[in-house]
Amino acid sequence: MPRAKRICGKTGCPEAAAGRWCTKHNREADKARGTSTERGYGTQHQTLRRAFIPEHQAGTLICWRCRELIPANEPFDLGHDDDDRTQYRGPEHANRCNRSAAGKRAHQYD
Ligand SMILES: [Zn+2]
Ligand SMILES: [Zn+2]
């Protein structure tokens, strides 16, 4: 009788596994890690945002949502189009006008 093989750590998966998961679930775990870091997206976002930093520090940056200046001492974000999240609209007030940030930090707004 061969010794019982180690099986995949994923619940219900009967596949043999060399490590924690079988080949298929190993690949899925890798993919999930890639998505959570969002490397490509983050890099592009940071590069575009960085281009506005000199203007921000000069105090001449205008928020595309409310059309007011974004003072150098107030954080700004690179805003997305509300209808098309792949499109950047321009700099916006990180705390006042960035809707996703506002939702996440709702408790800071009272
Ligand atoms: Zn598996
Ligand atoms: Zn604004």
pLDDT in tens, 77-95: 999 888 888 888 999 999 8
63 vs 18 pLDDT, higher one: 63
Q: Residue 40 pLDDT > 50, yes or no?
A: yes
pLDDT value, residue 93:
95
CA distance 85 to 79: 9
Listed residues: CB within 5 A of ion ligand 1: 8, 10, 13, 15, 22, 25
Q: What is the pLDDT of residue 1?
A: 54
How close is the Cα of 64 to the center of ligand 2, in Å? 7
Q: Which helix (H) or strand (E) holds 77?
A: strand 76-80
- Report pTM: 0.53
- Separation of alpha carbons 75 and 77, rounded Å: 7
Cα 70 to ligand 2 centre (Å): 7
Q: What are the structure tokens assigned to 21, written together?
A: 């998961």
